Structures are given as C-alpha cells and as structure tokens.
Amino acid sequence: MERNDIVIGMAGSGGDGVVSAGEILVSAGASEGVHAFMLKSFGPQIRGGESSCRVRLSGKQIQSHGDQVQVLGIFSWNDFKQFRGEMHLNDPVVIVMDSADKTSKDDIPIDEDIDRIIYEVPIAQLAKDKAGTLQAKNMVMLGVLSELFGLPDEGLRDAIRKKFKKKDQEVIDSNLKAMEAGATYVRDEIDKTDEVKFSFTPAEPKVLMEGNEAFAYGALYAGCRFSAGYPITPSSEIMEWMGRELPKYDGTMLQSEDELAAIGMVIGAAFAGKKAMTATSGAGISLMSEQIGLASMAELPLVIMNVQRTGPSTGIPTKTEQADLQQALYGTHGDANRVVIAPADVEDCFDVAVQAFYISEKYQIPVIVLSDQYLGQRKETFDQDALFQSDNGFMKTIKREVPTGEDLEDYKRFKFTESGVSPMAYPGIEKGMYQAAGLEHGEHGLPTSDVDMHAKMTEKRFRKNKVIAEELNFVRFYGPEDAEVGVIGWGSSKGAIKEAIQRLNDDGYPVSAAVPQILMPFPQEKLEKYLEPLNTVYVAEMSYSGQFYKYLKGFLRFGDRELKKYARSGAAPFDVSEIYNTVKQEFE
Amino acid sequence: MTETNVADKPKTQFKVKDYKSDTKPIWCPGCGDFGVLASLYQALAKLNLPSHEVAIISGIGCSSRLPGYVATYGFNAVHGRILPIATGVKMASPEITVIGTGGDGDGFSIGMGHVPHAARRNVDMTYIVMDNEIYGLTKGQLSPTAHVGDVTKTSAYGSIERPVEPVDLMINVGASFVARANAGDPKQMADLIVQAIQHKGFAFIDALSPCRTFRGIEQKKFINANTFKVEDHDHDPSDKRKALDIADSQEGISTGLLYVEERPPYDELYKDLRDRATQKPVPEIQDILQRYIP
Ligand SMILES: Cc1ncc(C[n+]2csc(CCOP(=O)(O)OP(=O)(O)O)c2C)c(N)n1
Ligand code: SF4
Ligand SMILES: [Mg+2]
C-alpha cells in the first residue's frame, strides 16, 4: 500500500548514532519539501546510553509525532526495552534489525499480539566491510530503510554531505558508501513481503527547527537583547542559542550562578530598559518564583520561558509533562499578576516569543511562557513563509512607553491610568528617577503600608488584564461549530488533539476542539461561546491531578454538560489514537 | 586667547542636597546607617554624578531602605538579590554607575551564593554592606557576622557559630577593591566610597554600622575604640598577602583601603567578546531562518 505518511522508530545505544540517523532523515525530508517531525528520547546516561528516535514523514501537514510506529529499526533489542513504554507499535509492524543481535525471535521484547515482519540485515558487518568503520552503522540502516520503504534517497545523500561538510571528503564518501551498501543489500538479498511504501511529491524545501530554537529566535526577532540563565534540561538549548547569537546583535547572555541570580539579572536588565528574558525548567522555575512576584509588584516587563519537564522535584528531566500550569498561573505569594501563554507547535514558539515580548513591554508585566520538552526538543518542519506570520495574525514588536515632557515634571512611575499602564523610566532618563520596589508603594514609588493605597495599586496591576484580554485572546478551534462533543486542551497537546479531531470528523463523528494559546488572562468570551452547543466536554492534559481541568472549572459554567477529565501523568506525549479512542467512546 | 566654547561651559556642580530625596529615613536615632547615607551623599556630590545616571540597588533590611533616601534611580528589591540585579543593570547599561547597598544578613547569609560570582566576574559596581552584626529589620536575630557567644533573640545561649569575615572573604573570592570603614567616620567613609565608585571593577566596602536598638551603644563604642586606619601603618593595598594580614590584625579592626587590584571589569570583557562574535559578517535577523532550511 502506498502511503504518504510514515512513522519510523529507531533504537540503539549511544554509539549506534540513532539520533543522528533520525536527524539526517528529517533533514532529508525537509529538503525534499516533505513534512517531517522527529522526537528523540534518551536513557539516563550522559553519553553512550540507550537512545531512540521517532521520525514521521508525511506528504500532508502533520501535527504530532504520529501514532503507532510502522517501521522499527533496531540495533539492539536490549536498548529498545528502555523505550517500550513510549514507542507504541502498529499492528503489523515492520522490523529491520541488525543480525548481529542474537536475541531469539521468541524473546523479542514487543507485545506478542502484534504481527511482525522482520528483515535481518548484517548492519554492523556491512558498515565494517564497506565503510571501514562501525560508526557508519546508522548510515547502513538509513540505506536499508530508504530502499525498503521509498524514502527520499537523494535528500538523504544531500543531508549526509551537509552533516559531514566540516570533515574530510573521505568521511563523507565512507558514509555515502555505507548507505549505498544498505540499499544494495536490500536489492540483492531481501524479498520485500510487507506493504509499507512511502510516496511523496517533491516540493519547496521546508524549514526544520526545534521549539527551543524557534523560541530563542523569536525572542531575538522581538528585540530581546538580554538573557540570563542557568543550565537545566530541557531548556538549555535556549541559553546556548542566546549565548551564540545575542553578542552578534549587541546583546548579552549571562550564565548565572543559579536561577535566583538568573531572574535577578533579568530583572535588573528590565529595570535598566532592556527587553530581557530567561528560560528554565523544573527546579529552576521553582527557584524563580519569589522574584516573579517582585517583577509583578515592580511592574517590570520580562519574559520567563518554562520548558516543562516531568515532575515533581527532579522528576524525569528528559521527558515532557504539563503539570507546571498551576505554578505558572499562581506560583509566588500574594496576588501577583502575570500573563501565561502556551505555544502549541514549533513554529508557534516563535510567534509566542514575539507576542510575549509585546505583552510584557506594552503592559509592564512578567509573561510566563509554558512550553514543554515535547515541544522544545522536537524537530518539526513548516513552510518557509510561515515563520514571520502567525496563526492569529499577531506579529507586532513594540518599544516600551517611556515618560516624556509633562510626565517628567512630577514623575509618577506608578501613575493611575485607565489601562493600568504607567509610562516607565529607566536609568539614564533625566528626571525619571524613581524607586522600584517589592514593597507596596504609592504612585511615586515610595513605600506605603496604607490600606487604601494597597487596594488601589492591586486593582491597578490587575486592571491591565482587561486590556490585555481585549488585545490577545487567541484560541485555536477545530471541527464543526455545531458539534455536541468537544475537547479542550492546551499547549503542546494541540497536535494530537487537532489530528484526532480531523480523524474523528473524517470518520463521521461530529466532534470539535478548542486550544487556547493565552491562558491568563483567560479567554473567557471565546471559550464560553465555544461551550454553547456542547453536551459533553473532555479536558485533555498531561497532568495527573487535572490542573487545567480545575482551572477551567473556575471560569466556565458547565451547567448540565457532562465534564470529563482526560488527565494523565506525562513522560510520554499524547498519541493521536489516545484522544481519538477516548472521545469515540461517546458514540458507542 | 579667548577659547570659551560650548564644551568649556561650566558644568552643573551638584550639591549634597541634590541627592537627597523627600523621604525621611525610618531608621532609629543613633543608627549607623545615617552615617553611611550622609557619606554617600558627599561622595556623589564630590564625583558630581548626574542623579539620573546612578542606580542604587538594595535588598531587604533596615540598611536596604537606603535607596529610598537618595534622589537617584533606586531599586529596593528582595532579600539577598542585590548582586544579581545590580549585575543585570550594569551589563544592560554599562554607562550607569551602579551601587549596591544592604545588610550583613542580606549579603552574607541569604545572598551569599552571589557574592563570589559578582566578585570574580569583577562587575563594575560598588557594594556597601552596612554590617551591624545583627538582623535589624526583623528585630534582633543572629547574623552570620555575629561573634561566638553573642546573645541575640535567636541565640539565647550565645552564638556557637564562627562568623563570616567579610573582608577576608571578599579578598579571597576575587573582589578587586576591598575596604572597611567606620560609619562613625564620615570623612573616611565618603573618601572610600569615592574611590570605590571610581574603581573599575567590583568594589566592596564593609561599613561598620552599629545598630543602636539591638546592639546598644556598646557596639558603637567598641568600634570607635578598636578601629585603626591602615594609612597610618604604611599599608600597601596592592599586596594581597599584606591585605589579608592587616584584615586580621591583632591590633584591632583595620579600616581604609585594604586591597586593590587592576583587572578588566565584566562589561569590558563582554565588549571584547562581542567583538569576537562579530568578526565574521553577521546576517540580518530575518536571514537566520536560512540556516534552518536544509
Ligand atoms: C526570603 C526572605 N526571608 C526572610 C525575610 C525577612 N527578613 C527581612 S530583613 C531580614 C534580615 C535583615 O538583616 P540584615 O540584612 O543584616 O539587614 P539590617 O536590617 O540589619 O540592616 C530578614 C531575615 C525576607 N524579607 N525575605
Ligand atoms: S534596628 Fe538597628 S539597624 Fe535597624 S534602624 Fe534601628 S538601629 Fe538601625
Ligand atoms: Mg544587619
């Protein structure tokens, strides 16, 4: 059967080059204009442990890592075991394995109900014989997969050349030879009995990026010129990117001594007039919470990216979850106003970065961006012209409003205004001197413990939300407007939800979905309206305790509608079929 | 020769009153922090720094109230984070004069994790710790600079902890300017603040600033009776060993400039780094996208 959508899984030990094979594969896809998506996953070792990747290639727009793995490339079954829980296999599954692995057919660690077609290939042997090095095993595997399943082989050769372009021609040649050896072996020795065949129409090359890169790039584009951070998986790529790029554009990236210092430095830079950000995850965001409150109180614009990982505590640093929602919304003492936005795909990470800086600068408020490992570290393609446009048409950058002329005669840093926003001076602006503080203050910024002033200032800080909500209230909707069954999710779950809805609709089930991009201020009106036709609402999230479910209940009146929680702990992102099957039950 | 042109026009000469804000200090009568504040006004006037080009960052504590009393930019932030915030301000705006002011608890207890890093990076700022060996604002608990045996509200049986020695610490972690001064000697304090601000790099002043309320008049008397000036001892502040020796002198508490070293500050090093980053042509930001199209 020809298909234009294929999901390939690979597993091996670090030295097998599984991840770099995956990278070459998505890069090949992107260069041929194919939609590509790649998830990687590692065991706990720093180097050389088990690793796996999942690559999806498709002729049509894709939203997620796809469902069950149809093709499995195995260097070692022992390494595969680590990923059994997260790699759901299609039935039947086609397996290409190195014949050097002597696991007997009966002991193969996959569910015995799953039918399998196995091709054994002497991968290590071929790498050694044809390329002279075991390091080329992954190239042999690529050659085999490409020949067996019709992958973009010209693209693959290009991608290999690019990958090794800094090395000697010899290295490139030996890798190409290894790939060719794999393909030749298939032609000469294998009798193809499975039916998986990928077909695609070459098109204009696509952009291939990771979420963390897209966010960092978006921040730079938005005018961010200061960033500080402390390394933590899975967010470090953002500070690494910033460290390489910001100095080229007259900016600064500092590696701080801890997250307390990271956000402190960012607060200092924001106070000094710069667009500033930090990125962190897990323990790091917990350490930052006190100073998020400071930024709220001092009405300082800054952007805090939390690439969520599996928690609590150290949790699983390399895996995803959506369980930092409550912390983003409410973490830190006091009524500390902030904005929370969640990007939904890699390209959206760029858009959200731009919007986060827009909101923070315009409204002088800390903006927390909630991404996650699934979004931050996956590779995904999108069209070349997509990046500088956004799904909600919002791609504005802005300069902070500073006091001028009259404002400066008797400068009130925290002047009461209709919008709650008061022009903000920074060191260097004559007559703009004021004291920023975590202490409650009056309009001039002087400390106060006055009851009425506290009431008024709190109200002022929250007044901004109304204006923000008018300007930004983007919610993604999928499916027919009059559907009676709906799904609400957020952030990185968008992909699986959107695809599940499409599939349900194709199969004749009238289901819709809503995925808000901005979570605080809450897009009340849009979601209320969305609820109207629904009888049943599923709330889907990777949080065991149902943090999003509880949050929605605080804002929306569900009335007689049946409210169903599809809340599970994270570590593995949603599969499309998981949402599909859950919602389909409604119709059985 | 009549060469009066615009450049020679006499600059405004700022006076002490130009640096005073309208807010009256809330400190107790007799608090040493008044002395530090008065000296800071003097120093700013002496250096003739325009108020809008100065930012004073503080934490939380009696001493951290100081920025509110100075008519420059100020930031009374949270407990223990003076140094990161000051680093952020300085690195974002190197042209601004950055001063950090806080307490011994703020700097050497909750904020201790930042001290060696600001020092070794040589952030170009002045950090004045008003060291009263007590937690003033929270009304008299044990401080990390208190001495063994000190009875405070949280050390009812006398402290059993060896104190932090701020000056030794700072010299050892790489501060490029380390001084100690008696808040009761405004001239010495003002002179040292002037030198600290002029110093290119991380300048630390351990300000012996008695807490009248929780340490009584005895603390002030003790400081006055036991301090001596290093100038009177022919001290060479460029000699690290001698600096450490005199910091721990048996003759009493040494005050004055104890240690100084010339070393490029963080912002200048960062400028060099930017020069290196821009040696190859830098693409337009929009064109970075091309890197991601295989
Ligand atoms: C995170 C945090 N913990 C505790 C406090 C309470 N607190 C405020 S000031 C202070 C200590 C003040 O001592 P010091 O820094 O020496 O300043 P001083 O008042 O003596 O000038 C403490 C513990 C706080 N503000 N924040
Ligand atoms: S409590 Fe002590 S440190 Fe605080 S203001 Fe009073 S005298 Fe000064
Ligand atoms: Mg103190």
A95 and A138, same domain (yes or no): yes
Query: Which residue is closest in CA terms to ligand 2's atom 5?
Result: B27
A559: which 2 tokens?
């009335």
Is a pLDDT exceeding 80 seen at residue A126?
Answer: yes
Decide if B88 is inside a domain: yes
Closest atom of ligand 2 to CA, residue B209: 3
How far is the C-alpha of A338 from the C-alpha of A331, rounded, in Å? 10
Burial of B60 (0-12, 13-18, 19+ CB in 10 A): buried
Strands A89-98 and A116-121: parallel
For residue A579, pLDDT beyond 50: yes
Are A111 and A151 contained in the same domain?
yes
Asked if B73 and A434 come within 8 Å (Cβ–Cβ), the reply is yes
Nearest CA, atom 24, ligand 1: B79
CA dihedral A154, A157, A160, A165 (to 10 degrees): -100
Q: Which of B78, B285, B293 sits opposite A291 (nearest CB)?
A: B78
CB-based contact A161:A41 (threshold 8 Å): no
Show the ligand 1 pocket: residues with CB < 6 angstroms: B 60-63, 79, 103-106, 130, 132, 134-138, 143
- Number of domains chain B contains: 1
Cis peptide before A312 (omega within 30 of 0): yes
Nearest C-alpha in A relative to B286 = A221
- By residue count, chain A amounts to 588
Q: B163-172 pLDDT, tens per residue? A: 999 999 999 9
- In this complex, which of B84, B89, B91 lies closest to A260 when CB atoms are compared? B84
The answer to the question of residue A394 being in a domain is no
* Cα–Cα distance measured from residue A397 to residue B224, given in angstroms and rounded to the nearest whole number: 58
User: Which residue in chain A has the smallest CA separation from B50?
Assistant: A430
Tens of pLDDT, residues B142-158: 999 999 999 999 999 99
Q: Are residues A380 and A491 in the same domain?
A: no
**Cβ count near B107 (within 10 Å):** 34
- What pLDDT is attached to residue B9? 55
Domain co-membership, A215 together with A97: no
Q: How many residues does chain B have?
A: 294
In angstroms, the CA B287 to CA A245 distance is 13
Once rounded to an integer, what is the mean pLDDT over residues A302-308?
A: 98
Strand order in the sheet with A562-567: A475-478, A511-516, A485-488, A536-541, A562-567
- Tell me if the bond preceding A92 is cis, omega within 30° of 0: yes
Which two tokens mark A60?
């049509």
What is the model's pLDDT at position A255?
Answer: 98
Nearest to B51 by CA among B93, B101, B96: B96
**Which residue's alpha carbon is at the smallest distance from atom 6 of ligand 2?**
B28
Report the pLDDT averaged over residues B107-121.
98
A395 inside domain? no
CATH of the domain at A100: 3.40.920.10
3-state secondary structure of A323: coil
Distance of CA A420 to CAs A296, A328, A424, Å?
Answer: 13, 22, 12
Q: For residue A391, is it within any domain?
A: no
Q: Which of B47, A394, A296, A442 is nearest to A434 (CA)?
A: A442
Closest to A488 measured CA to CA, from A517, A525, A520? A517
Phi, psi of A243, deg, nearest 5: -65, -30
Q: What is the distance between the alpha carbons of residues A458 and A336, in angstroms, rounded to a whole number?
A: 9
Helix (H, G, I), strand (E, B) or coil at A58: strand
pLDDT at position B12 is 84
Place of tokens 């949050």: A551
In angstroms, the separation between the Cα of residue A150 and the nearest Cα of chain B is 20
Question: Quick one: average pLDDT of A176-193?
Answer: 96
Q: Give backbone dihedrals phi and psi of A441, rounded to 5 degrees, phi first.
A: -145, 165
Instruction: Say yes or no: A10 and A116 in one domain.
Output: yes
pLDDT value of residue A47: 74
Per-residue CA distances from A315 to A194, A306, A309, A491 (Å): 40, 15, 8, 20
Indicate if A197 and A292 belong to the same structural domain: no
CA atoms within 13 A on the CB side of A514: 28
DSSP symbol at A88 = P
Is 60 exceeded by the pLDDT of residue A425? yes
Counting Cα atoms < 13 Å in the Cβ hemisphere of B173 gives: 21
- CATH number for the domain including B60? 3.40.50.970
Are A222 and A312 in the same domain? yes
Ligand nearest to the CA of B215: 2
Q: What percent of chain A has pLDDT over 90?
A: 91
Mean pLDDT score, B136-140: 97
- Is B289 among the domain residues? no
Tell me how far the alpha carbon of residue B27 lies from the centroid of ligand 2, in angstroms: 6
Sort A117 into a burial class: Cβ within 10 Å, 0-12 / 13-18 / 19+.
middle
Phi, psi at A359, each rounded to 5°: -65, -45
For chain A, state the CA radius of gyration: 26
- Contact list in A for residue B68 (CB cut-off 8 A) is 435, 437, 446-447
Q: Going by C-beta distance under 8 Å and a sequence separation of 6 or more, which residues neighbour residue A278?
A: A227, A228, A229, A259, A262, A263, A265, A266, A288, A302, A303, A304, A305
Residue A399 lies in a domain: no
Looking at residue A503, its amino acid is R
**Residue B105, in any domain of the structure:** yes
Which residue has tokens 């299609």?
A: A90
CA separation for the pair A443, A420 (Å, rounded): 12
- Mark whether A151 and A244 lie in a shared domain: no
Which of A414, A447, A471 finishes a domain? A471
pLDDT at residue B8 tops 60:
no
Measured in Å, residue B43 CA sits from the centre of ligand 1 at: 27
Size of interface A-B (CB pairs under 8 A): 186
**What local confidence, expressed as pLDDT, does residue B4 receive?**
45
pLDDT band for A105, please (50, 70, 90 cuts): confident
What domain range includes position A266?
209-386
List alpha helices for A252-393, DSSP H: 259-271, 282-297, 325-330, 346-363, 373-376
If asked whether residues A360 and A430 sit together in one domain, one would say no
Residues A331 and A375 in one domain: yes
Q: Model confidence at B5, in pLDDT bands (50, 70, 90)?
A: low
Q: Quick check: is A59 in a domain?
A: yes
Distance of CA A15 to the CA centre of its chain: 27
pLDDT at residue A48, as a whole number? 74
* A278 and A376, same domain (yes or no): yes
- pLDDT range class, residue A85, cuts 50, 70, 90: confident
Among candidates A488, A475, A478, which has minimal Cα distance to A549? A488
Give the one of A245, A264, A290 whose C-beta lies nearest to B84's C-beta. A264
Closest C-alpha to B128, from B75, B189, B176? B189
Q: B270 contacts in A (CB within 8 Å)?
A: 247, 252
Average pLDDT, chain A: 95
Q: Which residue has the higher pLDDT, B7 or A578?
A: A578
**What is the separation, in whole angstroms, between the first and last Cα of chain A?**
30
> Could you give the CA distance from residue B290 to residue B274 in angstroms, rounded to a whole number?
23
Domain that holds residue B181: 12-265
Asked if B252 contacts B227 with a C-beta cutoff of 8 angstroms, the reply is yes
CA distance linking residue A144 with residue A148, whole number of Å: 6
∠ CA A147-A149-A155, nearest 5°, is 65
CA distance from start to end of chain B: 69
Does residue B217 sit at the A interface (CB-CB below 8 Å)? no
**What confidence score (pLDDT) does residue A564 get?**
95
pLDDT digits 0-9 by tens, B15-45: 999 999 999 999 999 999 999 999 999 999 9
| Contact residues for B160 (Cβ-Cβ < 8 A; gap 6+) | B148
Distance (Å, whole) CA A309 – CA A206: 28
- Give the alpha-carbon dihedral of B121, B126, B130, B134, to 10 degrees: -10
Averaged pLDDT for residues B99-117: 98
Note whether A69 and A9 are within 8 A (CB): yes
> Is a pLDDT exceeding 50 seen at residue B2?
no
Same domain, A7 and A110: yes
pLDDT at A2 over 70: no
Instruction: Map residue A494 onto helix, strand or coil.
Output: helix
Q: Is the pLDDT of residue B107 over 70?
A: yes
In a domain, B138, yes or no: yes
User: Residue by residue, what is the 3-state secondary structure of chain B?
Assistant: CCCCCHHHCCCCCCCHHHHECCCCCCCCCCCCHHHHHHHHHHHHHHHCCCHHHEEEEECCCCHHHHHHHECCEEEECCCCCHHHHHHHHHHHCCCCEEEEEEEHHHHHHHCHHHHHHHHHHCCCEEEEEEECCCECCCCCECCCCCCCCCCECCECCCCCCCCCCHHHHHHHHCCCEEEEEECCCHHHHHHHHHHHHHCCCEEEEEEECCCHHHHHHHHHHHHHHHEEEHHHHCCCCCCHHHHHHHHCCCCCEEEEEEEECCCCCHHHHHHHHHHHHCCCCCCCHHHHHHHHCC
How many structural domains compose chain A?
Answer: 4
ipTM beyond cut 0.90 = yes
Mean pLDDT of B204-227: 98
Residue reference for tokens 């109180």: A297
Q: Is residue A454 within 8 Å of residue A504, measured between CB atoms?
A: no
pLDDT at B6 over 70: no
Secondary structure, 3-state, A133-185: CHHHHHHHHHHHHHHHHCCCHHHHHHHHHHHCCCCCHHHHHHHHHHHHHHHHH
Mean pLDDT of the region A498-518? 97
- Mean pLDDT of all residues in A94-114: 93
CATH code for the domain in which residue A523 is found: 3.40.50.920
Distance B65 CA to ligand 1 centre (A): 11
Residue A131: closest CA among A96, A176, A94, A90: A176
Q: Domain boundary residue among A158, A185, A205?
A: A205
Nearest chain A residue to B272 by CA distance is: A247
pLDDT at A466: 94
Find the mean pLDDT for residues A496-503. Answer: 97
3-state secondary structure string across A406-447? HHHCCCCCCCCCCCCCCCCCCCCCCCCCCEEECCCECCCCCE
- One-letter amino acid at B281 equals P
User: How far is Cα A540 from Cα A546, in angstroms, rounded to an integer?
Assistant: 9
The whole-number pLDDT of residue B1 equals: 40
Q: Which helix (H) or strand (E) holds A239?
A: helix A236-245
**Cβ–Cβ of B289/A384 closer than 8 Å?**
yes
Give B135 Cα–ligand 2 centroid separation in angstroms.
9
Q: What is the pLDDT of residue A43?
A: 78
Question: Torsions phi, psi of A44, nearest 5?
Answer: -75, -15
